[in-house]
Amino acid sequence: MTLRSVTTAVMLGLAAVGSAPAAIAHPVAAARAPALLPLEQAFMKAATDLFAKLPAGGGEVTMVIDPLIDGITGIQSAATRGFDRRIAELVAERYPHVKVLAFTPENVAKARFVFIGTFNTINNAGQPGGDRDAFWICFALVEREAKTVYARSVARSTVGDVDIAPAASHADSPVWGLDAATRAYIEACQRSQPGTPVSPAYLDQLGAAARIREAGAAYEAGDHRRARDLYREAQAQPGGDQLRVLNGLYLSYAALGETGAADETFGQMVERGFSLGRLGVKFLFEPNSTAFNADRKLSASYPAWLREIAMRATRAGVCLEVVGHASRTGPETLNDRLSRERAERIAGLMSSQAPGMSQRLRATGVGFRETLVGLPRDDASTAVDRRVEFKTAPCA
């Protein structure tokens, strides 16, 4: 993290003491690591294994694709979006009895299956603390009316040069975290077997999820007014009160110059962090430094963010442990020091925003010992590894 001449991202997080890591599942440790396939072969294996389990001879089968996500962070990436397209193309080429419908609220209500999938780094031997030396692909078909997993398949691939940089609407979002709907999506794929019930936290928000996809597409196309309106529609639907909706609303308000609404929405996300147990707020730092990025277009919002965080924390009356993290590049000792110093910088700025917070903050650093993506990269794909977490702690 510290040796490249690039701007690094640090994420501020709020996490309850003792809360579980963001990862939902890990492969079981094995005496001998499974063989890895090139990414294309692994994708085809997982896809063909899954679709071979579909009913045959019973007429047309309808399906929608809920955009695939990283199975640890919940973020859509260039790679997961590529999988979305490939699945639709593969079905059109090889499975004429399967009809892929656009992921809209109207089609969700009539499709038999919802295709879901996760794609994330793992240690191939199943060692939780080991190097992330493989990608894990998981695909599943959720039978909507039966509310169960109908079929599931998995495969593993070599890491290679895979583009896992966050998609634009995720990269721009100021906040990262896993809410109940995203966790339920991941669990339905990674912890399921055929016949496993799917959580209502996922099923009940499918209409909202479809609207969120439309809103994200509008934002990325530069139509911020339409994005704002679609995010509002999503929020009003069952299960639509989600962190990703608040992120989208914040981005849309900010792009439209609706500063008051943007600040209030950011504050709501901070408060959501206390209830979810984990919340990341992205800050960009200069390389090997505790100074924020010099580009004012990137850092202009930081004072408002810090003000909201300090105000909401003071209002909640909580004490916080500020823990710095680093990605897996650079010497361990240097990453330990820099992660601690950046946590101290955040704590100091919060204290200046709300002097009463100074006695309720403690800063520490853990280097790269608790990474989420875990790859030795220093780019947008590992931004969540370069984070500072706030953990609620008992006040002395």
Question: Could you read off the pLDDT tens digit of each residue along the chain, which spans 396 residues?
Answer: 333 334 455 565 554 433 334 444 556 666 678 889 999 999 999 999 999 999 877 789 999 999 999 998 899 999 999 999 999 999 999 999 999 999 999 999 999 999 999 999 999 988 877 888 999 999 999 999 999 999 999 999 999 878 888 898 988 888 888 889 999 999 999 999 999 999 999 999 999 999 999 999 999 999 999 999 999 999 999 999 999 999 999 999 999 999 999 999 999 998 888 776 666 777 777 767 788 777 777 788 988 998 888 888 888 888 888 888 888 888 889 889 988 998 999 999 988 888 888 888 999 999 888 877 777 777 676 777 777 787 777 676
Q: Which of these three, 272, 293, 321, is where a domain ends?
A: 272
Which structural domain range is residue 382 located in? Answer: 1-19+277-396
pLDDT for 198: 98
pTM for the whole structure: 0.88
- Within a domain: 85: yes
Quick one: which H or E segment has residue 249? helix 243-255
Domain shared by 194 and 335, yes or no: no
CA 169 and chain centroid, separation: 11
How far, in Å, CA of 346 to CA of 284, rounded?
Answer: 12
What SS3 class is residue 265? helix
Three-state DSSP class for 248? helix
Q: Which of 115, 62, 114, 110 is nearest to 86 (CA)?
A: 115
Instruction: For Cα atoms 306, 309, 312, give the angle at the middle one, nearest 5 degrees.
Output: 145
Do 39 and 170 lie in a common domain? yes
Let me know if residue 83 belongs to a domain: yes
d(CA 75, CA 224): 21
The pLDDT of residue 387 is 77
Q: Quick one: 212 and 196 in the same domain? A: no
Number of domains in the chain: 3
Q: Cα separation of 349 and 200, whole Å?
A: 40
Is 396 found in the same domain as 281? Answer: yes
User: Is 27 contained in some domain?
Assistant: no
328 shares its domain with 374: yes
Q: Report how far apart, in Å, the C-alpha atoms of 155 and of each of 48, 75, 97, 232 are.
A: 11, 20, 25, 37
| Residue 26 resides in a domain | no
29 assigned to some structural domain? no
Question: 385 and 323: one domain?
Answer: yes
Same domain, 158 and 40: yes
Inside any domain, residue 395: yes
